[in-house]
Amino acid sequence: MMRLVLVGTSHHHAPVEIRERVALDPTEGAALAARLGEAVCLSTCNRTEIYVAAEDADAAEEQAVAALAALEPDVEQALYRLRDQAAALHLFRVAAGLDSLVPGEGEILGQVR
């Protein structure tokens, strides 16, 4: 059975200095996602999140944490981890602008797309 795993950090959990060090441009995000398998990286000025679809959720989570920690070791203390329905619900909240620094911001939908 495939599981959905989310590992990320945002303005809720990390100061801007840490978020800047784990921010990925679209090319870097695509390369990281390709290394992780069935994955997508969402990286904006206020968040970096990795979504992975995998049968082994624990291994997928470990790999995603390691990938972000390779960019910035101090990020580990600021990471959140969600799975399955909670991860999907979080993504919908992000896309709808409900989890933005400015609630209702519409720009994030284009970044998610």
Comparing C-alpha atoms, which of 97, 89, 2, 88 is closest to residue 47?
Answer: 97
Looking up tokens 């959990």 gives 13
Q: Give me the catalytic one of 16, 34, 45, 102.
A: 45
Three-class secondary structure of residue 4 per DSSP: strand
d(Cα 53, Cα 12) in Å, to the nearest integer? 24
Q: What is the DSSP letter of 25?
A: -
Three-class secondary structure of residue 95 per DSSP: helix
Active site residue 45: yes
Radius of gyration of the chain, Cα coordinates, nearest whole angstrom: 13
Q: Which residues are catalytic?
A: 45
